[in-house]
A and B are shown apart, each in its own frame.
Chain A
Amino acid sequence: MRRMGIAFSASVAFAVGVLTLISLLLGDHPELYGNVAGAEIWAGLLALPAAVLLRLVTLTVAVTIVIGIVNLLHVHAGRGLRRQFYSIVMIASFAFTMYWYLTRQGDTSLLAAVQVPIESALAALLFLSMAQGGARVMKKRADIWGLLFVTVMVIVLLGTLPLPALAPLREWSDWLMDIPVGAGARAILLGIALGTVVAGVRILLGQDRSYRG
């Protein structure tokens, strides 16, 4: 029974994945069919499965987000009943925000007063952690790569200072950002894209069955 279940879900994954892939690649592109009669109709028909499946997945993900939030509230409500202070704060914060939304639609002052300052302050704290981490690089990794990392970091940081004495360094910094960093960023992006393609194809072929949980 268990094997049947695995085979069923793998078959569903393969069929739906290949259908979506073909539909996304060939749908809505009548120019790919050359001079075939009714190319536009075929292209429109081929685009349909991807359109339907993407709608279905978008809606399902939205429903799962709602379920996830309900689960979060359920967990914290349980802790709140055991008088755990932070869980009560979290539930109260959620309830107040919902009340605010339902009674004052369109009023974003709560967002400006609480959400944005806390987010900004957390990002500001991140700066201090990053500065500390940057300073620790040479301590933890005192080799040529650590030195290169810190040197580039210092050049880019100093290059942004509006001091006339640092004008030559700014030129270096601009060149560094345009050429070596541009090349490295392209390599990283290409690596991510190739990794995405490989991981995606592995899932579509059923070699990677992460959905089994």
Chain B
Amino acid sequence: MSESAITLISFVATLMVFSYLLGDLPLVSSLYRTAVYIFIGMSAAFTLVATYEGVILPYLADIQDANTSWTALGNQADVTIFVTALLFGLLLLLKPIASLSWLTNSILAVLIVVGAATAVVGALTGTLFPLLHAITVVPEDITADFTALVNTVLIFLGTMSGLFYFQFQLRQGDDDSAGRSRVGYAVRSLGKIFVVTTLGAIYATTMLSMLTIFVERVGFLMRFGV
């Protein structure tokens, strides 16, 4: 496709999406919906291609080569895993049949628990341990620099009180003195300050990213219009 064709199609596609700003006018509103449906169709096609080329094709290529193996079990085991995965995928289609629900539920259970176990290990080794280590590390020059001391204390207080704020399970009749005492309320309020500040900053930085894209798109329309 030539450069000018790409620019022309991009221009039309951008205008079709921006037609949303004109509101619910007849014909104009259908332009936006058409653009969205084109987007869905293309996304589905690209997802299919990416899944095939990125996951299925490399596995197929590997199992055809007797010298390569994903695991220490050898090429024959790889073939078995591949066939089992295909079988699992196809058996999941039997979900609407109630009498076979034990089978489809078991396959779903394997998928979910392997994901859950991976998530648990990832959360422990990738987030919990490194972050807990980071908030307990004291800077070397802490006694020399008063600002560094205040900042370190603030980060520790902010993290701990923010974590305390996430207390969203309170059963009726529970003896939750920590949650209902004045100290608990004060710590939660402090945590809320840090969490709301963070959410405000995240909102602002996301807005900035979107603004950059918005400016780029409007600039593109103006350039092409000129």
Contact = CB atoms under 8 A, between A and B. Distances in A.
A12 B17 contact: no
A179 interface: yes
Interface in B28-70: 30, 33-49, 51-52, 55-56, 59, 70
A98 to B, nearest CB: 5
**Which of A123, A185, A192 gathers the greatest number of chain B CB atoms within 10 Å?**
A185
A125 B192 contact: no
Interface residues of A, number: 117
A181 B118 contact: no
A187 B191 contact: yes
A181 B205 CA distance: 12
A61 B115 CA distance: 11
Given A145-B192, A152-B201, A200-B117, A94 B93 contact: no
A157 B208 contact: yes
Contacts of A103: none
Contacts, number: 385
Contacts of A86: 33-34, 37
**Main SS of chain A's interface residues?**
helix
Contacts of B75: none
Contacts of A101: 45, 49
B94 to A, nearest CB: 12
A93 B197 contact: no
B117 A17 contact: yes
B81 A193 contact: no
A35 interface: no
Given A110-B1, A157-B208, A184-B158, A124 B117 contact: no
Interface of B: 1, 5-6, 9-11, 13-14, 16-18, 20-21, 30, 33-49, 51-52, 55-56, 59, 70-73, 77-78, 81-82, 84-86, 88-90, 92-93, 95, 101-102, 104-124, 127-128, 131-132, 134-135, 151, 154-163, 165-166, 191-208, 210-211, 213-214, 216-218
11 contacts: A66-B89, A72-B44, A86-B34, A89-B37, A115-B43, A130-B210, A151-B200, A152-B204, A160-B208, A176-B201, A213-B95
Interface in A81-128: 85-87, 89-98, 101, 107, 109-128
Interface in A1-23: 4-6, 8-10, 12-14, 16-17, 20-21
Nearest to B11: A117
A127 to B, nearest CB: 3
B208 A191 contact: no
A22 to B, nearest CB: 9
A67 B11 CA distance: 34
A124 to B, nearest CB: 4
A73 interface: yes
Given A13-B109, A97-B45, A123 B213 contact: yes
Contact of B117 (A24, A112, A209): A24
B39 A65 contact: no
Nearest to B198: A184
A153 to B, nearest CB: 4
Give the 5 A-B residue pairs with the shortest CB-CB distance, closest first.
A183-B158, A187-B162, A93-B41, A184-B198, A63-B89
A188 B195 contact: yes
A136 interface: no
B191 to A, nearest CB: 7
B179 to A, nearest CB: 16
